A and B are shown apart, each in its own frame.
Chain A
Amino acid sequence: MSQSPLAIKTDNVGRIYKKKAAKRVSRASSPDSSRQLVALDGVTLEVEKGELFGLLGPNGAGKTTLIKVLTTLLTPSFGSAEVLGYDVVREPKAIRERINMVSGGETSGYGILTVKENLWMFSQFYGVPTKEAHRRSDELLARLELTGMKDTRVSGLSTGERQRMNFCRGFITDPEVLFLDEPTLGLDVHIARVTREFTREWMRKNPERTVLLTTHYMAEADELCDRIAIIDKGRVLACDTPENLKRMLQAQPVFQIRAGGLSESGIDGIRSTTGVIGLTQEFDLETSHHSLNLILQEESVISDVVGAIGAAGGKLVGLEKHEPTLEDVFVKLVGRSLKEDVTE
């Protein structure tokens, strides 16, 4: 173990999956690169102890792959990674004693066991004394509003309830580093808020605790994380506090425009207007209006944009300038909206 104050440290870590060649494509005609999938492409990160660190990225960006590497589920293809100073390849046991992981959007759990039995069993794998395990389990179940279900078999729980139980499982061992992979995916708004509040509270109680969170939800990342790494196609595009990331766009005004009568080609025309750095769109079925979010090179470009809307046969309904959000930062860095990615 090296002397490291860091909770997580990765140095140019990468992961390449070999894809099976399609039967109809002969191996000879298929270049090697087409049979490889680069899930992580040289990620270098440092997470301090006590940080709530967010990984923000679209589907397939490499967030979960990085978590798998850090939790010792997957061997990296190149580079190195450490958790609490322990190497993920050489010292997995030392890491496993100190971490836990929760993956959202899953229906995991031994269906034949009750909620309480599932939690107790896991606490035993980590050597938590039974009395302490029951105390923690009661406290967690109460916080996650599952007390009434503690004697229910997991097979009788809804997906959301299973997810809440899984969330409790992650905390019951009181890990030094907790990996939360999309923990609020599929949870209702109220419970998602409860889990966020609980996570923050849990960290406040012990400044040594560290959380690595992956999420699709900008607001969640903005609200929870001390620092965020925006990741796409296996690479970290930016890493800073939410405020500093938003400050990246301070010199570039962000406008929201509502317009009617726009076609896809019309929107493409607007996107190609000189000075438009990023554009995302949403369509409101009720009003048949498009809502365009634009990041511009400079404020004067807005007149060209308005002209492009007119040229495309659109009608301007509303226009307002707003402060940059994480979503805007994401669009600028990745080139598309995270919402579009989720919808896809």
Chain B
Amino acid sequence: MTSLPKLHRFNSTSLEHEWRTFRIAAWLGWQVESNWTVPIVFFIYAILRPISTALILLLMYIVIAGNHRGEYFDYLYISNALYLIVMQSIANMSWTVLEDREHYRMLKYIYTAPVSLFAYLIGRAVARLSIGISTSVLLLTVGALWMGLHLSLLSVQWGWLVTYFALGIPVLLSFGIVIAGLALVITRNGEFMGEIIASMLLLVCSVYFPPDILPVILRKLSLAMPVTYWLEGMRRALAGGLLRYSAAMGGRPISPRLALYSNSDLAMILACFSVVGVTISFFFYRWIEGVAKARGMIDRITGF
């Protein structure tokens, strides 16, 4: 085998190298996500399952509120659809760490390769994020066509939608990175951690319950969470404005607390959270990777 000239292969800049790592990791992520089973099972898992969940939500709504679909239904339905993106971003990055370390047993080879694990994890998350986004779009379409969701392409505030989406994704990925870092140092039951945290967010991040109706401590927690603002902004952009209870119930905003913020305020809050989140997650991950390395946990098999 002919040897390459010394370090010829690393004459690319650091940024180019990170970009290559990201691309390869995204390719691997897509292979893992799309080829893990036969197409019919993938179809059931990726499409039928979330639609079934939406149907359950619809049924529960009809039992409680009757057949009238007010804006509160839109609030619940849109939140539920968007939450899939939150779930895929947050819960699944830690799953990647565990899967690579304990199932494929490749994390140590990735780690000892000249790649940034940070770029690798984000690359791997892209495939799952794409599946989350596609499923959300599908759910919103199904909702608008058959479930009485008030959603029209003409009323969507596209500019805000793109803005909130672009500002929110870094925040969600930062969350995912922090939890993936924790997964590196957790020896047992780490596979549940991502889902536990994502489920907690379901409760406090205004997915089903606006902050206003939560107990004081949870309300404070809710208002400290970037996901709360991201969901609010995305809901407004998709619904074409602030969601309100029906006129019979006073027509007040579903979340008066969040209604205090204008679209620009929400975008500014999300921008701040993005900067802070990315910075914190970067440094936190570097620190916790050092802890994992010091404890010898990068390649530890814990009975996954």
Name the distance in Å between B122's Cβ and chain A's nearest Cβ: 15
Contact A99 B106, beta carbon cutoff 8 Å = no
Task: Pick from B39-47, B237-245, B261-269, B292-300 the stretch touching chain A.
Answer: B292-300
Residues on A with beta carbons closer than 8 Å to the beta carbon of B36: 112
Residues of chain B lying within 8 A (CB to CB) of residue A121: 24, 27-28
Q: Cβ of B152 < 8 Å from any Cβ of A?
A: no
Question: In the docked arrangement, what's the CA distance between A126 and B10, Å?
Answer: 8
Question: Would A205 and B1 count as touching, CB distance under 8 A?
Answer: yes
Please tell me which one of the listed residues A99, A110, A171 contacts residue B104 in the complex, with CB atoms under 8 A apart: A110
Q: Min CB distance, B18 to chain A, in Å? A: 12
Name which residue of chain A comes closest to B4, CB basis.
A174
B86-109: CB near A (< 8 Å → 1, else 0) gives 000000000000000000111011
Q: B293 contacts A125, CB within 8 Å? A: no
Q: Are B113 and A122 in contact (CB under 8 A)?
A: yes
Q: Which residues of B contact A125 (CB under 8 A)?
A: 20-21, 24, 110, 113-115
Distance between Cα atoms of A216 and B136 in the complex (Å):
54
Contact A72 B31 (CB under 8 A): no
Chain B residues with CB below 8 A from A68, complex form = 296, 299
What sequence of 0s and 1s flags, for each residue 157-199 of chain A, a beta carbon within 8 Å of any chain B beta carbon?
0000000000001010010100000000000000000000000
Q: What residues on A are CB-neighbors of B106 within 8 Å?
A: 108-110
Contact: B111 with A126, CB < 8 Å? no
| A71 CB-CB contact with B under 8 Å | yes
- Would you call A101 and B112 a contact (CB within 8 A)? yes
Chain A residues whose CB sits within 8 angstroms of the CB of B27 once the complex forms: 121
- Given A125-B24, A126-B113, the answer on whether A75 and B31 have CB atoms closer than 8 Å is no
Does any Cβ of A come within 8 Å of B17's Cβ?
A: yes
Residues in A89-111 with C-beta less than 8 Å from chain B: 93, 96-101, 103, 106-111
B166 at interface by CB-CB < 8 Å: no
B10–A132 touching, CB < 8 Å:
no
Q: Are A110 and B3 in contact (CB-based, < 8 A)?
A: no
CB-defined A-B contacts under 8 Å, sample of 14: A73-B296, A74-B294, A97-B7, A108-B106, A110-B104, A121-B28, A122-B113, A124-B20, A125-B24, A125-B113, A127-B9, A128-B4, A136-B1, A139-B1
Smallest beta-carbon distance A151→chain B, Å: 14
Contact with A along B208-228 (1 / 0, CB 8 A): 000000000000000000000
Q: Does A202 contact B (CB under 8 A)?
A: yes
Q: Are A73 and B108 in contact (CB under 8 A)?
A: yes
Rounded to whole Å, the gap between the CB of B73 and the closest CB of chain A is 40
Measured between beta carbons, the chain B residues less than 8 angstroms from A93 are 114
Contact (A73, B293) CB under 8 Å given A96-B112, A113-B31 = yes
Would you call B3 and A75 a contact (CB within 8 A)?
no
A206 lies within 8 A of chain B by Cβ = yes
Query: Is B31 in contact with A112, judged by CB distance below 8 angstroms?
Result: yes
Bound: A140/B294 CA distance, A? 35
Q: Which residues of A contact B4 (CB under 8 A)?
A: 128, 132, 174
